[in-house]
Amino acid sequence: MAEPSVFTRIISGEWSGHFVWRSNDVVAIMTIAPIRPGHVLVIPARQVDRWTDLDAATWAEVTRVAHVVGSVMDPLYPGTRVGVIVAGMEVPHCHVHLIPVRHEGELSFALADTSATPESLAGEADRIRAALTAAGHNEASA
């Protein structure tokens, strides 16, 4: 068995994370190094390294959750579109990046803010959770 990923450790509660969505199959959390404020990661609960190794049902659920979360993010970040990146290089656990961007040039990991504070991440998570809850999604989770 593979070493537990940072995401597996966050999902299990071993490490802390700012959750905006939690279900049995998929979670969404704030990244600790956001490219832009509101940068969310959508992650299958079961640790699978590559998105192409996920079974079709799990991949469908990951993309469904990304669509739901991205849809509520759109009005929260005026003047942006929610960009999507599936890179999978930095953590050996499939994840989808949802990033509010003003132009494609902002879809760059070189722009990651490695000094984002826990308070700023918590604030963005609160905004997104509130929007999910207002849209009737019970999976919105702290």
CATH number at residue 60: 3.30.428.10
**CB-CB contact of 42 with 98 (8 Å):** yes
Q: Domain range holding 39?
A: 6-130
Query: Mean pLDDT, to the nearest integer, of 14-20?
Result: 97
Instruction: Quote the pLDDT of residue 142.
Output: 63
1 pLDDT exceeds 90? no
pLDDT digits (tens, 9 = 90+) for 75-112: 999 999 999 999 988 899 999 999 999 999 999 999 99
Which residues are the active-site residues?
A: 95
Q: Is residue 22, in this structure, part of any structural domain at all?
A: yes
In a domain, 139, yes or no: no
pLDDT for 33-85, tens place per residue?
A: 999 999 999 999 999 999 999 999 999 999 999 999 999 999 999 999 999 99
Total structural domains within the chain: 1
Considering the domain boundaries, does residue 89 fall inside one?
yes
- Domain contains 140: no
Q: What is the pLDDT of residue 77?
A: 96
Q: Classify residue 92: in a domain, yes or no.
A: yes
